[in-house]
Amino acid sequence: MAEHVPVVEVNDVSKRFIIRKEKSLKERLVNAGRSKQFKEDFWALKNVSLEIGSGQTIGLIGPNGSGKSTLLKTIGGIIQPTSGTIRRRGRLAALLELGAGFHQDLTGRENVYLNASILGLSRKQTDLYFDDIVEFSGIKDFIDTQVKFYSSGMYVRLAFAVAVHVDPDLLLVDEVLAVGDEAFQRKCLDKIRSFQREGRTIVLVTHSLGQITEFCDRAVLLNKGEVLFDGVPHEAVRDFRDVLEERRQDEAEAHNATHEEQVPVNNGRIVSTTVHAAGRAEGDPVHPGDDLIVRVTYEHPTGLPDWIAAIQIDNVQGVPVYGTASPRMKLDLGVLREPTTVEFVLHDVQFGTGKYFINSTLMNRERAHVHDVPQAVSFDVPYYDLAVGIVHSTPEIRVVGA
Amino acid sequence: MTGLQESPLQRANRLSTEPWQQAGGRSSGVTGTVASVREIWEQRRLLRLLTGRELKSRYKDSAGGFLWSLAKPLTQLFIYYLVIGQFLGAARGIENFAIYIFAGLTIYTLFSEIVGAGTGSIIANAGLVKKVYLPREIFPLAAVGSALFNFAVQFVILIIASIVVGTLSFGPQLLFGLGALVLILIWGTAVGVLLAALNVYLRDIQYLVEVVLLLLMWASPILYSWQQAAAILPQWLLEIYVNSPITLAVLGFQEAFWSEASNGVPLPHLAIRMLIAGVVGLVALFAAQRVFSRLQGDFAQEL
Ligand SMILES: Nc1ncnc2c1ncn2[C@@H]1O[C@H](COP(=O)(O)OP(=O)(O)OP(=O)(O)O)[C@@H](O)[C@H]1O
Ligand SMILES: [Mg+2]
């Protein structure tokens, strides 16, 4: 079984950052005696263990600050873990947080040679690949310009082009693709596909969960420096959404606690929003073909004539996928005073796999927003293995003639 | 090189026979130093590239190119010759004063450039340090490389000048010049490597170094003779003064390119003193590398 030879072993790795509050000699001397209070310990990674086999494509996901970049850097050997060990084998190419190691004062061409040399290529070998690299990057006209004059997209283009042309066994990619334009992203993803066919190992950090489920055969979910989940990508993505939802609710609560007085009590508000599929309990997954029932309760102590009830459904990337409001149905709601519940029934919904959020809005007759509750509730649509996307449809594929 | 046509299975098989590497990790003690030296040796091509870059960026976009590297020492020479030699009369006690100064300045400039550029080298290359793993000693070493280049240019001028003036003669005293060069390389590298690492944590060092380098120039017999210092310094300070590697290197250079034809008074036991300073320097270099190695693990996160 030579199919999956281990190429990276992360063994019980923890990383502590010491955040110092001052940096100059004077401050250090002045504070020498009580330096303790000017330091802050922070564990960016806690007892992380991973084994990565050759040919795997691993997605690393987690909320901001969860330690993804830190983990990638320790694998790349750029920072040292505080405890634990990491070993790896084979040629490594890394694209860490916005680009490879480029030298600002050098031209693109010189940087290509510099990087290739760091990665262990001789000048001759680099000559051989040079034209391919430039062509792939698509910045031929700028190759003899200093990279400090590059746009961030151009920078990443060149960095990615170098990294994929030096024949790496292991490629580490940290969120760099997002900077490229759509055409280039496509090109990169195609390259990643061909890397997969060639049996190279890829570790990918991205906030695009679609890429994780589409490209990876394994996903690792990090939260606060710990591995929460390690396994099938779509399960990791689901768990990740739960983590995000928890965090969002915590933040919303904290926000409410401090901003209570700003809730427009006198001017009417949305009291509650709930969602469920007909025939299912609240919180259960919503299946394609279900009738979705959204109930929103509104009130307005001083009275709001000709008021408008509206909802909008967003997917997890915040893209609106559905929206409707009472005027569209020529519905006259009269005057809002006492708590009033409106039921929106969305028949036969066909959402694709994923989590969806419902934003709830109360408007006056001029359509000014009286009260908004973004992401008031959410629902999940279970994993569907025959198709991806935000729309559900049962596929059928057949050959119709030669 | 394993080509792109390698099949997944072949790749896996090759990987299974490859040895494990510790990611970024290095051992301590002598074995650590040996490992570092080997790593640096493997990246020598990169060292050349970085040295070239260092030189290029220093004179980038300048029409005069590297000729500018001569402007500063020649101006210094001119000012010192005129002000100190003629106005203040130092030239009266020292024959061929211009060669005398230039010999000292040439070797001292080498030291000062190695240390000055080396100290800032990690920070100047932050872009690379933060993104790729390399033996980071490469950066202060690249500073040594580019300083050596400038030194070579000045050195050629020194040789030409001393031939013209007639202070250069072929003989064993030239070995002092070689010794001085080696001495400065050892000590300059040791100090440069150490300060490069410390400067990441304490940015003030960079500015401190500039001032100290200015001071050190006057703490060695470049613009006056060592006997003049001997006449006023207390004994203990004199011992430190004459045995400092910089003084020894300056004297070595003067011995090689100036003394013979200029009735210079040699420092007693110069050769043996230089030898000892060299050996001590090697120990210092080893220690500096150890400190560097200890500190370099956290460079990426401190920048
Ligand atoms: N050099 C550093 N010094 C101090 N703290 C650091 C350093 N680098 C990272 N951290 C801290 O470590 C934690 C993890 O950071 P990391 O960059 O790994 O997060 P991440 O998962 O990549 O987040 P994101 O999704 O925003 O990229 C953060 O809280 C960050 O503040
Ligand atoms: Mg990150």
pLDDT (tens digit per residue) in B6-25 = 788 888 888 888 888 887 65
pLDDT value at position A34? 58
CB-CB under 8 Å, A114 with B45: no
Give yes or no for a contact between A175 and A201, defined as CB atoms under 8 angstroms apart. Answer: no
Higher pLDDT, B288 or B130: B288
| Single-letter amino acid, residue A100 | A
Q: Is pLDDT above 50 for A1? A: no
B21–A89 C-beta distance less than 8 A? yes
Whether B291 has a pLDDT exceeding 90, the answer reads yes
Mutation pick from B36, B61, B128 vs chain A, by most beta carbons of A within 10 Å, is: B128
β-bridge mates for residue A50, sequence order? A10
Tens digits of per-residue pLDDT, A183-203?
Answer: 888 888 899 999 999 889 999
pLDDT per residue over B16-69, tens digit each?
888 888 876 566 677 778 888 888 888 888 888 888 888 877 776 676 766 777
pLDDT at B24: 67
Neighbours of ion ligand 2 (CB under 5 A): A 69
- B residues 124-143 near A, CB within 8 Å? 125, 127-134
Q: How far apart are CA B186 and CA B209, in angstroms?
A: 18
A18 CA closest ligand 1 atom index: 4
Give chain A positions within 8 Å (CB) of B20.
9, 87-89
**Whether the CB of A70 sits within 6 Å of ligand 1:** yes
Confidence band (pLDDT; 50, 70, 90) for A263?
very low
Best residue in A117, A148, A158 for a mutation probing chain B (most B CBs within 10 Å)? A117
Which atom of ligand 1 lies closest to the CA of B302? 1
For residue range B86-127, what is the model confidence (pLDDT) as tens digits?
Answer: 888 877 778 888 889 999 999 999 999 999 999 999 998 888
> Nearest CA to A12 among A51, A40, A52, A39?
A51
Chain A residues touching residue B300 (CB < 8 angstroms): 73, 78-79
Predicted pLDDT at A37: 58
- Contacting residues of B for A92, CB less than 8 Å apart: 133
pLDDT of residue B85: 81
Q: What is residue B155's predicted lDDT score, i.e. its pLDDT?
A: 93
* CB of A98 less than 8 A from some CB of B: no
pLDDT band at A3 (very low <50, low <70, confident <90, very high): low
Residue pLDDT, tens place only, B220-263: 999 888 888 888 989 999 999 999 999 999 999 999 998 877 77
- Taking an 8 Å cut-off on Cβ atoms, the answer to whether A74 and B49 are in contact is no
A68 CA: nearest ligand 1 atom = 21
Helix (H) or strand (E) holding A369: strand A369-381
| CB–CB contact A2 B16 (8 Å) | yes
Cβ-Cβ contacts under 8 Å for B167 (sequence gap 6 or more): B96, B99, B257, B258, B259, B260, B261, B262
Please name the member of B11, B57, B60 whose beta carbon is closest to the beta carbon of A169.
B11
Question: CA of A243 to nearest chain B CA: how many angstroms apart?
Answer: 27
Q: Is the pLDDT of residue B202 over 70?
A: yes
Taking residues A325-335, report their average pLDDT: 91
Beta bridge partners of A222: A227
- Higher pLDDT among residues A159 and A268, named by residue: A159
Neighbour-count burial of A8, counting CB atoms closer than 10 A to its CB (0-12 exposed, 13-18 middle, 19+ buried): buried
Residue A125: closest C-alpha in chain B: B1
Residue A69, ligand 1, Cβ within 6 A: yes
- d(Cα A117, Cα A125) in Å, to the nearest integer? 10
Cβ of A118 and B132 within 8 Å? yes
3-state secondary structure of B40: helix
- Tell me whether A117 touches chain B (CB under 8 Å): yes
Winning range, highest mean pLDDT, from B81-85, B147-151, B279-283: B279-283
Nearest CA in chain A to B8: A199
CA of A175, closest atom in ligand 1? 27
Residue with the bigger pLDDT between A161 and B10: it is: A161
pLDDT in tens, A211-251: 888 889 999 999 999 999 999 887 888 788 778 877 877 77
pLDDT category at A32 given cuts 50, 70, 90 is: low
Residue-level pLDDT at B4 = 53
Interface probe for B, chosen from A105, A145, A173 (most Cβ of B below 10 Å), is A105
- Locate the chain B residue with the closest alpha carbon to A174: B131
User: Which residues 335-364 of A are in CB contact (within 8 Å) with B?
Assistant: none
Q: Which ligand is nearest to the CA of A174?
A: 2
Q: Which atom of ligand 1 is nearest to the CA of A19?
A: 4
List of chain A residues whose C-beta atoms are within 8 Å of the C-beta of residue B134: 118
Residue A259's pLDDT is 57
Higher pLDDT, A346 or A26: A346
Contact residues, chain A, for B53 at CB < 8 Å:
103, 105-106, 110, 114
Nearest-atom number in ligand 1 for the CA of A70 is: 18
A194 near B CB under 8 A:
no
Rounded to the nearest integer, the mean pLDDT of chain A is 86
Q: What is the pLDDT of residues A78-129, one digit of tens each?
A: 888 999 999 998 888 888 876 567 888 788 998 898 888 887 788 888 898 8
Q: Which residues of A touch B12 (CB under 8 A)?
A: 2-5, 54-55, 199
- On whether any CB of chain B is under 8 Å from the CB of A26, the answer is yes
Distance CA B248, CA B280 (A): 13
Q: Three-class SS of residue A383?
A: coil
Decide: A116 and A126 in contact? Cβ < 8 Å.
yes
Closest CA to B13 of A202, A265, A90: A90
Using the Cβ of B44 and the Cβ atoms of chain A, whether some distance falls under 8 Å is answered with: no
Q: What is the pLDDT of residues A276-294, one digit of tens each?
A: 999 999 999 999 999 999 9
- In a mutational test of the B interface, the residue from A74, A80, A112 whose CB has the highest number of chain B CBs within 10 Å is A80
Ligand 1 atom 30: the closest Cα is on which residue? A65
Q: Which 8-state DSSP code applies to residue B43? A: T
Q: Is the pLDDT of residue B192 over 50?
A: yes
Tell me if chain A has a CB within 8 Å of the CB of B60: yes
Residue A151 forms contact with B (CB below 8 Å) = no
Nearest to B13 by CA among A196, A197, A2: A2
Helix (H, G, I), strand (E, B) or coil at A310: strand
Q: What percent of chain B has pLDDT over 70?
A: 95
A3 touches B: beta carbon within 8 Å: yes
Beta strand extents in A72-149 (DSSP E only): 83-88, 92-95
Q: What is the pLDDT of residue A2?
A: 47
Residue with tokens 């519940």: A341
Q: What is the pTM assigned to this prediction?
A: 0.78
The dihedral through the CA atoms of A153, A159, A164, A170 has a sign that is negative
The pLDDT-based confidence of A22 (bands split at 50, 70, 90) is low
* B107 min Cα distance to partner chain A (Å): 29
| Distance in Å, CA B172 to ligand 2 centroid | 62
If you take atom 29 of ligand 1, which residue's CA is the nearest one? A65
In A, minimum Cα distance to B46 occurs at: A117
pLDDT at res. B81: 84
Does residue A24 surpass a pLDDT of 80?
no
Residue B46 makes CB contacts below 8 A (sequence gap 6+) with A114, A117, A118, B134, B138
Residue A248: name the closest of A402, A353, A105, A359 by CA: A359
Question: Is A115 part of the contact surface with chain B (CB cutoff 8 Å)?
Answer: yes
Residues of B in contact with A9 (CB under 8 A): 20
